[in-house]
Structure formats: structure tokens, C-alpha cells
Amino acid sequence: MTLRNNFHKKCFNKGDIRPFVVEGHQVGLIKSDVLKQLVKYPEVFCIRDCEQTKQGLVELNPAFRDYNERTEQLEKVLRDLRSNGLFPALQGWRDEYFEVKSEHRALLKMERAATPLFGVRKYGVDINGYVRHPTQGLCIWLQQRSNTKETWPGKWDNMVGGGLSVGFGIKETAIKEAAEEASIPKDLVKNLVSAGCVSFYFESRQGLFPNTEYVFDLELPLDFIPHNADGEVQAFELLPAKECVERLFTPDFKTTSAPVVIDFLIRHGHITADDVVDFTQIVELLHVPLQSLYTYKSRMEHAQKQNKKILCSEDKNCNCAKPLENGGIKSRHN
């Protein structure tokens, strides 16, 4: 199996990745190619050195007062970057927003397509739809994404999946996506069984994907056939577990959905340590402790307790500019 070639735990140690900080909380990860563009917006981003992160950090201008102002200022930058065609990720713009949080506090909302550029943790739901066939055993429903989808067009995917957008809860999202993507009626969707989470870190030309998926299992009757209702799925196919394993590790399967299906197959005994040499590593890659990537605040607090010097945004190492009362921009170091 080639899961380790796609998902990894150590790539985030690269020196070209900086913490993205909002209101003193690390909420993302910025790669060097994105950083080169963000320096052009000193009124929005403070890019500075920091002893606690070695490679420095990127901070949303602390002069922005609240959720709405932070959202508005960031949105202006994202739309400008999109109009310049600089990042492939922004070509998949959806006008769908993810909330950027620190612990349980919402700091701003961000266009979904932009989240990989900022390495923001994303949350979604996935439903493993399956049947117990009398002759073929455990069979799993997969969907084939529409060729017109902004992301992963034409790829095979889990039966139902979707991101947690602003204003929707976990179970609420699962029920909504079940109806939209597979027309699963209420009398069946009520049988959803929570199966925990899968968390993974993936990197591609689109950006960084520190994702957590809330997983649900749903046993379906043999005579149920899913039908798409929102135009985002072109086909469904019911596969025996063995064939599903084979499909997973082809280029035709959506990479960021594979962990959920692999987790399901492990839990149901169709991928085992006897079958796979690197079984332990695969299990670990399905449950990456993503919180370990977002430790800026805890490191700063530790440094303060140790009475160590901390470089702040007023240091000469900062590029940040702040708004004037007349609406202009003045560098902090002029």
C-alpha cells in the first residue's frame, strides 16, 4: 500500500513553513510560496522574526478589532490573489466559508478554497454507506464526483462527504449532505452511527491539508440505490470490500477521502496487520495529532514563564503597517 507516500507526519518540520497567528493564537501554517505574496500586503499581515518559532511567523494585523473586520480585510487579499491567478487553489473559489477558530472561539471566516494556502485546520463529515450482501459479504457504496467539480473532478470518493461550513453542526451537516449527495431518506439516515474521527496531514500543489473528518457508518438495505440531488455526483457504485481496497490505491480515488475508507476497512477487518507490512504506520497516519502543529501560543506562554525574551510586532523585524485615522497606511517603522 502507498498511503505513506501521500500522507506524512514529518513534512511540517520543513523550515519554510511559518505559523499563522490571529489574536495571539496559531490557527494555520504558511509556506514560503504563499509568504512571498503576503509580504505585498503589510497593512494586513505582520511578517516577523520570532525566537520561539526559529523561522518566524505571519500574524494577521492585530489592529483589526473584531471577527467582521478580520474577515473583511482577509477577504480583500484573497480576492486580489484570485484575480491575479497566482494560486491554483483559488481557482476553485466556492463562496463557501469555513470558520477559523482558536479552541472554541471563532476569530474569522475564510473562503473554503483559500484554507490550504493558510494551512488552516479543516473539519468535515463522511458517511460510510455499506450493505451486508448475502453472497459478496461486506460491500461499500462509493460515489464518482462530477467532472464539473472545482476540486478532484471525476475522482472516486466516499459515498457522502462534506465540509463543516459556517452555521452548521456536525450531525446536521451529515444529514444535509446525505440528502443532497445520495438522497438518503430520513427513515434511513436516522440510523447513522458515529465512528469517531480520522485526522491526517496532506500536502499538494493546492497547499496544506491538516484535516479532521467526523466519521459516520450507515448500514443500508440491499434494495437502496443512492441518487444524487445536487449535481455534484455523476455515478455511484457498490463494491465488495476487496475491490474497494484495490480502488482506493489507484490515481482515480480522491486522496483526501481515502483515509476514511481505509479506517472503515480496518475497523471491519478487511485491512489487517497480517495483510499489510506497514499496518502500524498506516493506523498512525489516520490519527495524526494535528494539535502538535499549532503550538505557537503554548510555546510563547512557556517562554514567558521562563522569562525569555520574545520578539513582538513592534520590533524592527516586523513589516507590519497599521491603518491611520484617515484610512491610509503607515509602516510601523517609518
Average pLDDT score over the chain? 87
Q: Is residue 5 part of a domain?
A: no
**Residue 195 · residue 267 · CB < 8 Å:** yes
Range of 36's domain? 12-120+295-331
* Per-residue pLDDT, 325: 47
**Would residue 6 count as lying in a domain?**
no
Place 319 in a pLDDT band, splitting at 50, 70 and 90: low
Q: What is the mean pLDDT of residues 294-319?
A: 54
Tell me what pLDDT residue 328 has. 42
Any domain includes 275: yes
pLDDT of residue 83: 96
Same domain, 167 and 253: yes
Q: For 135-173, what is each residue's pLDDT tens digit?
A: 999 999 999 999 999 889 999 999 999 999 888 999 999
Q: What three-state secondary structure class fits 331?
A: strand
Return the minimum-mean-pLDDT range out of 174-188, 273-287, 309-323.
Answer: 309-323
Clarify whether residues 19 and 68 are in a common domain.
Answer: yes
Residue type at 204 in one-letter notation? S
Task: Evaluate whether residue 65 is within a structural domain.
Answer: yes
Is residue 11 pLDDT above 80, yes or no? Answer: no
Burial class (CB in 10 A: 0-12, 13-18, 19+), 21: buried
Residue 69, pLDDT above cutoff 90? yes
- HSE-CB at 5 with a 13 A cutoff on CA atoms is 6
Q: How far apart, in whole angstroms, are the C-alpha atoms of residue 256 and residue 6?
A: 9
CATH of the domain at 71: 3.30.750.160
Interval 181-195: pLDDT, tens: 999 999 999 999 999
CA 297 – CA 46 distance, rounded (Å): 16
With 60 as the cut, is the pLDDT of residue 307 above it? Answer: no
CATH number of the structural domain spanning residue 142: 3.90.79.10
| pLDDT at residue 38 in the model | 97
Q: Is residue 2 one of the residues assigned to a domain?
A: no
Q: Count Cα atoms within 13 angstroms, Cβ side, for 100.
A: 29
Residue 165 belongs to some domain of the structure? yes
Query: Is residue 251 domain-shared with residue 138, that is, in the same domain?
Result: yes
Provide the domain count of the chain: 2
Band of the pLDDT at 304, cuts 50, 70, 90? very low
Which amino acid type is present at position 156? W
Question: How does residue 9 score in pLDDT terms, banded at 50, 70 and 90?
Answer: very low
Let me know if residue 152 belongs to a domain: yes
Other C-beta atoms within 10 Å of 9: how many? 17
Same domain, 48 and 166: no
Q: Work out the number of other CB atoms within 10 angstroms of the CB of residue 183.
A: 14
Worst-scoring range by mean pLDDT, 117-121, 141-145, 164-168, 258-262? 164-168
Mean pLDDT along residues 80-101: 93
Asked whether the predicted pLDDT for residue 13 surpasses 60, the reply is no
For the chain, the C-alpha Rg in angstroms (whole number) is 22
Whether 116 and 208 map to the same domain: the answer is: no
pLDDT band, very low/low/confident/very high, at 6 (cuts 50, 70, 90): low
- % of the chain beyond a pLDDT of 70: 82
pLDDT at 133: 97
Whole-number pLDDT of residue 52: 60
- Same domain? 228 vs 97: no
Q: Are 263 and 318 part of one and the same domain? A: no
Pair (240, 154) in one structural domain: yes
- The pLDDT of residue 10 is above 50: no
Same domain, 193 and 309: no
Assess whether 278 and 135 both reside in one domain. yes
**Position 300 pLDDT exceeds 70:** no
- Do 40 and 136 sit in the same domain of this protein? no
Q: Are residues 130 and 269 in the same domain?
A: yes
In a domain, 253, yes or no: yes
Q: Which CA distances in Å does 327 have to 70, 77, 318, 330?
A: 16, 17, 21, 10
